[in-house]
Structure 1
Amino acid sequence: MQSHTQEDVAHWLKTHHSDGVHLAVSELLYYQSKTSLLDLSPGKTIQAKLAGTYLAKTKGRGMEFDEARHYQPGDDIRAIDWRVTARTGKTHTKLYREEKERPVFVLTDLSADMHFGTRFLFKSVQAAHLTALIAWSARKRGDRIGGLIYNQDQHLEFKPLTRQKAVLTLLKGLMQLHQPQPDKPQTLNFADACARLRRLARPGSLIFLVSDFGQLDESAKQHLFRLSRHCELVAYPISDPFEHALPSVRVPQEVSVTDGRQTRSLVLGEKRLAQNYQQVHEQKQSQMISLLKQCRCQVLPISSALPLELQLGNRI
């Protein structure tokens, strides 16, 4: 099975003329034919292969008024029905039924920390691939697609549109910001991106978060939690195998590892070091997933070491 996987990886790179480090337009256009890997229907497991017709059963601040009910803690105060409240003497809030074409947003992290990979692709390239797949899937369903793409010092915002031009504009943004510039100081972080997304995304939206979540802090958590009150959140943590465990070698050897800013030396082949390394990173991964779930996110980890077809296609 492992050899078969390696052959698939090598074949994928050769077919798409990719080096796994730089981003090519052909890699992003490829996912227009792979939309069956995702089902963007609300309230369903996102990675399911079979797509269905969208039935707008969930309620949010959409276009069509559905009903008024008693105000409940956590309801958006902007939705208070003042006429019914004045007539009954009790606070009521308006509920709206989502329109058929709901907004789909993608927040894509292309910061310096994402430009890392040891096997198949850089995490940033895999993030771009997944963003393209989501965008093409939304386009096929007729949903409006928008997004926010950022790297360490700039960001691009895309308002949701239904036309194919919206997808191509989003892909152009991925190409534009996928430029590793480790010498530039970081002026944007994940919390900043989440704050901007809160201003951009409408209630009732389906929001995808594509990142390694290495910068998931308390500020970002608060932004995501507020978004989750009126939107459906799906988080795709992207990681490289090296971030989970050190490579196994027969003869101990010293190697240098860098994140683009700092360089460390590691001795591969030392059992105790390998165990400590794995425990530390497992703890970090567990904490990150726990924080995302506290923000009401559906969490679906993705590896940068395999094509998306070999990961999403095997999920049920």
Structure 2
Amino acid sequence: MVCLTPHKTQNVYLCLDTPGNKGDNFFAKLMFEQFLGKLRKYEIRMRKAVTSERYGNFHSVFKGSGLEFDDLRLYQYGDDVRAIDWNTSAKGHGTFVKIFKEDKEQTAFFMLDVSASQQVGELKRLKIDIAKEICGVLTLSAIQEASRVGLLCFSDKNERYIRPSDGMKHGYGVISELYKLVPESSKTNIAEAILVTLNVLRRRSLIFLISDFIDNNYQHNLKALARKHDLIVIHLYDSREVNLPGLGIIPLYDAEKQSTVWVNTSSKQYREEMTSRFSKRSSELERLCHQNRADYISINTQEDYVPALIHLFKVRRYTKSSASS
């Protein structure tokens, strides 16, 4: 086990299990500290950009703004009839209305696709690498705003679940689990992961669903997730999934099906079909999100993802300010 140095402003140590000899442990510590350093740098960059005179404090991005049920009381003249609890009132003991209180505590919950289709891209720029970075950066942001953070890493099974909690130590624990996770399964089942999330999160939460969405039959469950929670969909893709280079006849390996197929990438028709499939899948996903009031962003893993996150949170910050004014 290697214990890393504490964050400069927090008296928190992070321990990472690293089996092997001392040389392996030193290398693991070095690599993980580099990973943490990158996350901190990106988080600060994002926070500075979002926090401004125009857009206000970054604080509201991870804070709840809704109402939650608190109690019942007898109906009084002037009460909003929409607040009447008809089930309780039907028992014959009077007309009761629901009392709500402002819900300021927010849970940020990350759903991360770790299936084999995420193992695509250049060295150190695989979709899974970028997904873990985004998850880590947003975890740091949420924890620093006193939000609770939870995590579900999924393939076609639950690879790792961390119950939502707060505190810097918990946040670093989430990042540690992200960094060292090695999935057991290669397949994907987004629909099942959504069902798990709906079951474990009883209160309205801010959910980040991070995936390449190379899967089928998840749309109905995604609608249910967006209805119950504040959903942000982050769609990751590699540039070669959009514009396949003409390299002649080459083998393409399907990591999830664990099969190889030979394709002629010199064929313009084939490359156009690949581009068309991606465009159709991404546009349908974006439309589904907008129809169900979920935020959607697509991120090319070969490009800097921080500007996309900055734009997302500026828009959300502005929307919240407009709604409250």
Which residue is 1:213 aligned to?
213
Higher helix content, 1 or 2: 2
- Is there any run of 5+ residues in structure 1 with no aligned partner, and where? 1-22
- 1:255 partner amino acid: I
Shift of 1:133: 0.9
- Is there any run of 5+ residues in structure 2 with no aligned partner, and where? 1-30, 315-325
SS for the counterpart of 2:172 is helix
Which residue is 1:256 aligned to?
251
Distance 1:158 1:152 in 2: 17
Which residue is 1:98 aligned to?
103
Which residue is 2:18 aligned to?
none
Check the 8 A contact 2:143/2:166 in 1, yes or no: yes
Shift of 1:104: 0.9
Which residue is 1:199 aligned to?
199
Structure 1 stretch 49-58 or stretch 198-207: which is displaced more?
49-58
Q: Could you say if the C-alpha distance between residues 204 and 85 of structure 1 is closer, same or farther in structure 2, counting changes exceeding 3 Å?
A: farther
Distance 1:64 1:107 in 2: 32
Is 1:237 matched with 2:235? yes
Deviations along 1:165-191, one digit per CA (max 9) or x if unpaired, are 211221222134334x6xx574x6211
Check the 8 A contact 1:221/1:292 in 2, yes or no: no
Equivalence map 1:172-183=2 (5 Å): 172-179=176-183
Check the 8 A contact 1:207/1:232 in 2, yes or no: yes
Check the 8 A contact 1:38/1:49 in 2, yes or no: no
Distance 2:180 2:237 in 1: 23
Structure 1 stretch 290-299 or stretch 278-287: which is displaced more?
290-299
Check the 8 A contact 2:234/2:299 in 1, yes or no: yes
Is 1:150 matched with 2:154? yes
Percentage identity across paired residues of the two chains: 17
Q: Could you say if the C-alpha distance between residues 70 and 35 of structure 1 is closer, same or farther in structure 2, counting changes exceeding 3 Å?
A: farther
Equivalence map 1:117-196=2 (5 Å): 117-118=121-122, 121-179=125-183, 184=185, 186=187, 189-196=189-196
How does the TM-score come out when normalised to structure 2? Answer: 0.69
Distance 1:277 1:286 in 2: 14
Which residue is 2:5 aligned to?
none
Q: Could you say if the C-alpha distance between residues 226 and 80 of structure 1 is closer, same or farther in structure 2, counting changes exceeding 3 Å?
A: farther
What CA RMSD, in Å, does the superposition of the two structures yield over aligned residues?
A: 3.6
Shift of 1:144: 1.2
Instruction: Flag the structure with larger Rg.
Output: 2
Is 1:32 matched with 2:40? yes
How does the TM-score come out when normalised to structure 1? Answer: 0.71
Shift of 1:27: 1.9
Distance 2:166 2:254 in 1: 38
SS for the counterpart of 1:301 is strand
Check the 8 A contact 2:156/2:190 in 1, yes or no: no
Shift of 1:245: 1.8
SS for the counterpart of 1:299 is strand
Check the 8 A contact 2:71/2:98 in 1, yes or no: no
SS for the counterpart of 1:158 is strand
Q: Could you say if the C-alpha distance between residues 226 and 87 of structure 1 is closer, same or farther in structure 2, counting changes exceeding 3 Å?
A: farther
Shift of 1:195: 0.8
Shift of 1:149: 1.4
Which residue is 1:113 aligned to?
117
Match of 2:68 among 51, 61, 72: 61
